[in-house]
Chains A and B, each alone.
Chain A
Amino acid sequence: MLQFRKVEKYYGAHLALTVPDLNLQKGMYWIQGENGSGKTTFLKMLAGLHPFKGDIFLASGDLGLVLEGGASEKSLSILKDRNEFLKKVNYAEAEPLYPPFLTAKDLVELYGATKKADIDAAKQQLEELHILDAYEQTVGTYSSGMVKKLSLVLAFMGNPDWILLDEPLITIDVAALELVCKWINDWHARKGISFLISSHQSFADGLDFTGKLQVIEKKLQVAS
């Protein structure tokens, strides 16, 4: 379970996003909102990329016994237990940008070492997406679709409780799109991994969402 406590994001003096005190049970969520509404900001805060006011807690399994007005017992705070928190929360950006001189191998090995992930499993996913041939090529030689596929594979590495996917369907081809939807469904069903996915595109029948979140007037809300 994810717990948000008095979360606010400012850019300078400008309030960009507020998240009310919210407990998000395990599941698969679709984040909706207009361009510039704050969906990416929300995901980046949760992934540790953006600083913010307040705190976010992660309670895994059945440990999420909610204390009154505060965090769960035995939950991880992104502020106080950042490293443990980030081992459990993976993120793929909408428009990933990596240093062009790095290879997929460099990145997979880096994620493998830091997220304690299985390198062979990642290579298997790269093969399924038909980009394993470029494993030792620099990212600078990749097309934008290949970079996107690589970023999605990196987001699936390790033992996350939550995977955050920002616009996962843009740039990639139809076959890859279907494969990624299959991975999401499988990992959610078999491994109990939760997903927060922002997308403007309709998933049609591709994904079975637990619920929807909306960003309206700079405020994140659970959609009815």
Chain B
Amino acid sequence: MSRILLTDKFTVTISKIKFGGIGSILFKNNPIAKTLQSVLVNHFYQMNAGFFAFLFFVLFGVVKGGQLIDYHYSLIIAFLESPIILAGVILAWLLYTLKCSNYISKRILEPRQLFLACLNHLNNKQLFAWMLFTQLQVFAPVWIYAAIATAVAIHLHHWIQAAIMIIANLVLISAASRWYMSTIRHHGTDAFLGKWAFFDKCSNLFGISLQNGFVKPVFSFALFHLFRARKQMLLLTKVFTLLFLYGFIQLYEPYKPDPRPLLLCFLLIVGSHSSLILQIRAFEREFLPFLRNLPVKIPVRFLQLLLTYALLFLPEFIYVWSAYPLHFTLLEYPQIVLMVLSLAAFLHSILLVYEMPSEDYLNSVFGMMAVLFFVLLYNSGILFFVFVLLIAYVFFHQHIYG
């Protein structure tokens, strides 16, 4: 219970703190600071709040409050004393850097943010300083944790590890700042690191391979969008949720098959996908209004939505079979699938009802998760999720056309 409340509280305050409140305090009346804060930093945290909430739960919600400091101290000691774990941690920081850099640079290139080109009147040092200001804020979860870890390393005389962490952070922060600077200067025509856009190349190859005679069905549109425009968010969400599922299956051994712990896991997995669901809805709103002119029945449209989410959660649906038969029985598998699909459809449908800002949406997500936590503890059975699916359908039916 305390964990749920903690997570809920975090979501309520996340967009107020945004790890970057410092920036807005230091540069309170500076128009550049205010613009970068609202257009880039706040937007980044709002769009990724589901991811951060999930990360927060994994880092702070899995142990009791009294053991939190010991838990993190042990984690820090683990990567200070093992070069392999330290390499893994730095790799995670690199992935996070790619996530922020890709997001911020794409945001800069959006037609609506074209006005940011006015920053070009700044000289290189000034522009780099403002991009550093931006990156320090979006990178705050990493560098704050790294600063604490470095303090521990210095305290324990792990000088080399401390130096590695400091250098890694400096390199990652300055490279990302340089990337944003180049994006603003060249507006995407010759962006820094552009030639190393590994993910773009992958998705382009993916796109080309699917062009040969393959007609994309409507239910795949949202996934193509995620692969193309939100690939880092998709990749990190999948990496974290699959690692989470892997850790749970490896560490938890029930005496007899009981689907409830696994259902709770999947509840968190759906919660961590809430930002992706928000992205899918935003994509629909921007790019798919033309579909409304097509004569397609509402049940068919709803079925297309379910197929979209079935594909999105396919890796988890497949991977969970590694927990069979220890964690669930054959008859309980449909309940897992139905729970995930009904909750995803429900979250999608409430975004049709209320075009809510992401903060309100995420509050709704955590409200829903808090209620479902107790519902799942009492093992509500498959009928409950049939009911949730019906509610989602009713919302969808009433609001699909506005």
Contacts and interface: CB of A to CB of B under 8 A. Distances in A.
Interface of A is mostly: mixed
A51 B297 CA distance: 17
Given A98-B290, A101-B224, A87 B216 contact: no
Contacts, number: 64
A99 interface: yes
B287 A91 contact: no
Contacts of B211: 103, 136, 138
Interface in B283-313: 283, 286-290, 292-297
B377 to A, nearest CB: 40
Nearest to B207: A101
A83 B296 CA distance: 6
Interface in B38-97: none
Contacts of B294: 86, 110-111, 114-115
A138 B215 contact: no
Nearest to A97: B287
A70 interface: no
A89 B294 CA distance: 9
Taking residues whose C-beta sits less than 8 angstroms from the other chain, chain B's interface range is: 20 to 34
A99 B224 contact: yes
A74 to B, nearest CB: 18
Interface in B194-245: 207, 211, 215-216, 218, 221, 224-225, 228
Contacts of A47: 292-293
Contacts of A96: 290
Contact of A101 (B215, B225, B289, B297): B225
Most buried by A among B283, B289, B293, B402: B293
Interface in A57-88: 82-87
Contacts of A106: 215-216
Contact of B402 (A50, A114, A136): A50
Interface size for chain A: under 10, 10 to 19, 20 to 34, or 35 or more residues?
A: 20 to 34
Nearest to B289: A49
Contacts of B218: 110
B378 interface: no
Given A51-B402, A93-B290, 13 more contacts: A47-B292, A48-B292, A48-B293, A50-B402, A51-B401, A86-B295, A90-B293, A106-B215, A106-B216, A110-B218, A115-B294, A136-B211, A138-B207
18 contacts: A47-B293, A48-B292, A48-B293, A49-B292, A84-B295, A85-B295, A87-B295, A90-B293, A97-B290, A99-B221, A99-B224, A99-B287, A101-B216, A109-B215, A114-B294, A114-B296, A136-B211, A138-B207
The 5 closest A-B pairs by CB, nearest first: A51-B402, A83-B295, A86-B295, A114-B294, A99-B287
